[in-house]
Structure 1
């Protein structure tokens, strides 16, 4: 399976990396760890260049996060709350989660957009309060790109170093995929809306 994904990434090239990384931030079950990690394997094999992979992957991450930011900035609470309430199960969140994220954002400031890039679920969720708070677009893009660059650098390096151990790499990719996809499915199946007072 790992070899198939690596070949697919190599075939898609930088455009494929860009699209996958953008989608990873829009649709929860796609893990960036696998995309950029296996991109690192492609670098080790000489099928991809290190810096273009890192920059394009981070640009894709930034675009995916900007999509959520833009929606929230344009829609505001009035239009976003009914959307989250209606599709909460598939988003695996409810409006209460958005309110908590907003409170966290207000309490800690806009730098958390950078810091949250290193957490599995919150790295996408933090774009929502940033948009609802109408954070400056340029600052949002800079913080997001900078955080994504650091995270993706770690993933590419990990993949590059593990390229020599195909068996370990295969198990690691499988574990990450099962954890990410399984976690999403579990949250969808066990999701219950909070009872309103």
Structure 2
């Protein structure tokens, strides 16, 4: 069940092969461990791991429902770990750090918290369908102490939909599952470019405002 041919080799394919080998050894629990690791380490692609779990289920290594169940348990476990990190970090500590960082203001943190209070539930649920964000969104949820039951429920529902879709891809496509990989790679690259562009715009606006403030101060 090697992914090297599909993903073109390299460290990422080797990493995926390692977690797939774990799946072969301990069954659906290995798939759950792999997806939990994917939540904590976003570059590990669930889009590759989940179809492999479906393929293993098709081959009879374990049942289809076991693949879906344990990958969802893995998603929730990884998300809860990041939630815990965010809760340990805390809002006041984040404010203090923001106050010391160049180009960042405490008001930025407060606005983000206010936004999360209004839209946090949607962000947690729909964030499960977006690469990178499905991991990172758990941290601010912990920082603002979203009720744990609500976070767990929304994470479970979103992860169940995402995991089921990709496990079924592996189940139905079998050995040809990798034909969808290029489309998911394109989607993930679009997300990364959009994030990079947003960061670049933020930095441009803040640097320009900082320079303007310094220039006006010099004139005064």
- The TM-score normalised by the length of structure 1 is 0.73
Return the structure number with greater relative CO, CA threshold 8 A, min gap 6.
1
Q: Which residue in the other structure is 2:24 paired with? A: 10
Unaligned stretches of 5+ in structure 2? Answer: 6-16, 211-220
State the distance in 2 between where 1:29 and 1:96 align: 31
State the distance in 2 between where 1:21 and 1:136 align: 23
Q: Which residue in the other structure is 1:115 paired with? A: 126
Q: Which residue in the other structure is 2:168 paired with? A: 157
Maintained 8 Å contact 2:20/2:52: no
Change over 3 Å in CA distance of 1:53–1:97 after alignment to 2 = farther
State the distance in 2 between where 1:98 and 1:119 align: 23
Pick from 54, 60, 70 the counterpart of residue 84 of structure 2.
70
Which of structures 1 and 2 has the bigger CA Rg? Answer: 2
Maintained 8 Å contact 1:31/1:180: no
Residue 180 of structure 1 deviates from its aligned partner by 5.8
Any residues of structure 2 matched to 1:17-56 within 5 Å, and which? 17-56=31-70
State the distance in 2 between where 1:37 and 1:96 align: 43
Q: Which residue in the other structure is 1:129 paired with? A: 140
Pick from 119, 136, 144 the counterpart of residue 155 of structure 2.
144
- The TM-score normalised by the length of structure 2 is 0.66
Change over 3 Å in CA distance of 1:145–1:135 after alignment to 2 = same
State the distance in 2 between where 1:157 and 1:126 align: 25
Change over 3 Å in CA distance of 1:32–1:146 after alignment to 2 = same
Q: Describe the superposition over 1:73-125 as per-residue Cα deviations: whole angstroms up to 9, x where unpaired.
A: 12213445759x99xxxxxxxx9997776454233242431222111122122
Residue 71 of structure 1 deviates from its aligned partner by 1.1
- Aligned residue pairs, count: 183
Equivalent position SS for 2:42: coil
Residue 26 of structure 1 deviates from its aligned partner by 0.7
Unaligned stretches of 5+ in structure 1? Answer: 87-94
Residue 34 of structure 1 deviates from its aligned partner by 1.1
Alignment RMSD (CA, Å)? 3.6
Change over 3 Å in CA distance of 1:68–1:131 after alignment to 2 = same
Maintained 8 Å contact 2:42/2:131: no
